[in-house]
Structure 1
Amino acid sequence: MDVIGKDDAGRRWSIGEIARASGMTVRALRHYDEIGLLSADERTASGHRRYTERDVRRLYRVRALRALGLSLEEIASVLADSEGDLAAMRDLLTAQLRGLEAHAVRIQQLTHRLHGLLEQIDGALMPDPDQFMTTLEMISVFETSFTTEQREQLARRRTELGSEAVEAAKTEWAGLVEELLRHVQDGTPVDDPQVRALVGRWDTLASGFHSDGEDGERTKAAAQRTWEENSEEIGRGLPWPVDRMRDLVHYLERARQAG
């Protein structure tokens, strides 16, 4: 192959090979070339584009930054400042990894719900339409109540905790709900030492799912608003009556104010 370029060593890729590997169209790659975002370093004697290892690394940066939500203009600016910068590449890979991990957690949550629906189908039962609606509503509530950044923060925190710790927290939380509901039913004063201890455990458990500092406080506030505005929808996915859970939340608020 007659290749004219800067480097004599290393593999070269045609535009078709790059398109197939990256999942992009040849047309899109040509557009990147036209706007100066990704120009093939070399050409054959007949004028065909040939991409070098440096071009592949640049394309990776472009694709990763697009996945992180940057516009083509913003990407061009970022690349102008960080071309060949090892530290910048590390930051980019770290940000992309966090995004993928957060996405993986969301997929895992949805997978768990779908497994539940499939188990009913395998048992020769058609899931109740309400179950489908609950799944749809929960997805919608989560996506509209938290910003993308907050969803990623929550997902990262769950990943950091690990699946075993998350499951243990769920079990502990269910036990706290049962104990506190009994106090609500019995009319135990909110300043009762036993109640205050339970509320302290509740708040500590909940805080574990949020980041430290201001970011964590914002996601806590968003979670509280989510319940206040969507308690009916959220309650359908819980094993306790919605009215009793609303009473419990009010009871917790009174206990915190009294504390």
Structure 2
Amino acid sequence: MRERGGRFWKVGELARLTGLTVRTLHHYEHVGVLRPSARTPAGHRLYGEADVRRLYQVVALRELGLPLEAIGTVLAGDVDLAELLGDHLAHVDRRLAALRSLRDRLTALAAAARSARGLRSDDLLGLMEEVTTMEETIRNHYTGEQLAYLERRRRELGDEAVAAVEAEWPRLIAEVRSEMAAGTDPADPKVRALATRWTELVEMFHGGDEGVRDSLHRMYQERGDGIAEQYGGPTSDMIAYVQRAIDSSAS
């Protein structure tokens, strides 16, 4: 719809066009990250073009893993939309790389299944290996007792806390990657702050259990780059960079 001063969308229309729910838009308003800039005489919400730009920023930051509680603080500053689009693109590219790998294998297997050669057991075994790589990696590096401990710890933390940590990791990894690309010294206060938060999240995972901590460290030593390639986790270079920042804080 058109209103004086530009185009406006009602909440239901904006929800339909973006694929979000009306409830989500109401929640964004409740937590203060997106408020409608106008209302109809009857009091119905109206979102303007500036609101649409801000909504994209909220959605992109959520996609990058930033918790809603922190998004308001970020948006209170001067967010560079082009930079945010670039970060979002890089995040999507990492996901696509993992999906392309699996898609290539599935495409080849589908063609083989239709050909005279047919599908061999080795083909299916390879597919299952790729699909279950992460599960196998975990099983290879953690004992049954450690896995049971991690499951208990997950229940103790609660789904909400676990979801918040899982959502924060991609954003933290992206920030560390950005500092590495910029050539920032690991001893720089910005990197040290990132390393401190990195350590806090890792400690939330292992809960101070030395055995679980060592298993996690060994898994990333042996399989870190493969995990990063397939699932978007930190690379070995990134882990070393964070460790240098930690060491600089201790010296």
What is the Cα deviation at residue 129 of structure 1?
Answer: 5.0
2:100 alignment counterpart: 108
Letter in 2 for 1:99: H
Report the structure number with the largest CA radius of gyration.
Answer: 1
Cα distance between partner residues in 2 of 1:29 and 1:38 = 8
Greater relative contact order (Cα < 8 A, sep 6+): 2
Whether 1:95 aligns to 2:87 is yes
1:121 alignment counterpart: 113
Number of residues of Structure 1 aligned to a counterpart in Structure 2: 156
Letter in 1 for 2:107: H
Cα distance between partner residues in 2 of 1:64 and 1:126 = 44
Cα distance between partner residues in 2 of 1:78 and 1:100 = 21
CA RMSD of aligned residues (A): 3.7
What is the Cα deviation at residue 90 of structure 1?
Answer: 2.3
In structure 2, the CA distance between the partners of 1:144 and 1:24, relative to structure 1 (3 Å rule), is farther
Secondary structure in 2 matching 1:13: strand
Cα distance between partner residues in 2 of 1:144 and 1:107 = 19
Deviating above 4 A after TM superposition, structure 1's stretches of 4 or more consecutive aligned residues are: 142-146, 221-224
Structure 1 contact 141–226 (Cα < 8 Å) conserved: no
Cα distance between partner residues in 1 of 2:56 and 2:136 = 31
In structure 2, the CA distance between the partners of 1:127 and 1:75, relative to structure 1 (3 Å rule), is farther
Question: Between the two proteins, what is the percent identity of the paired residues?
Answer: 37
Where do residues 37-116 of structure 1 align in structure 2 (5 Å cutoff)?
Answer: 37-82=33-78, 85=79, 88-116=80-108
What is the Cα deviation at residue 91 of structure 1?
Answer: 2.0
Letter in 1 for 2:33: L
1:199 alignment counterpart: none
Cα distance between partner residues in 2 of 1:116 and 1:100 = 24
In structure 2, the CA distance between the partners of 1:105 and 1:2, relative to structure 1 (3 Å rule), is closer
Cα distance between partner residues in 2 of 1:28 and 1:133 = 42
What is the Cα deviation at residue 144 of structure 1?
Answer: 7.9
5+ residue gaps, structure 2, are 139-168, 186-217, 225-251
Which residue among 3, 23, 28 is the counterpart of 2:24?
28
So what's the TM-score if we normalise by structure 2? 0.52
5+ residue gaps, structure 1, are 157-210, 215-220, 228-259
Structure 2 contact 60–88 (Cα < 8 Å) conserved: yes
Structure 2 contact 37–47 (Cα < 8 Å) conserved: yes
What is the Cα deviation at residue 105 of structure 1?
Answer: 1.8
What is the Cα deviation at residue 136 of structure 1?
Answer: 3.1
So what's the TM-score if we normalise by structure 1? 0.50
Structure 1 contact 12–53 (Cα < 8 Å) conserved: yes
Letter in 1 for 2:97: V
Which residue among 120, 123, 132 is the counterpart of 2:124?
132
Letter in 2 for 1:141: T
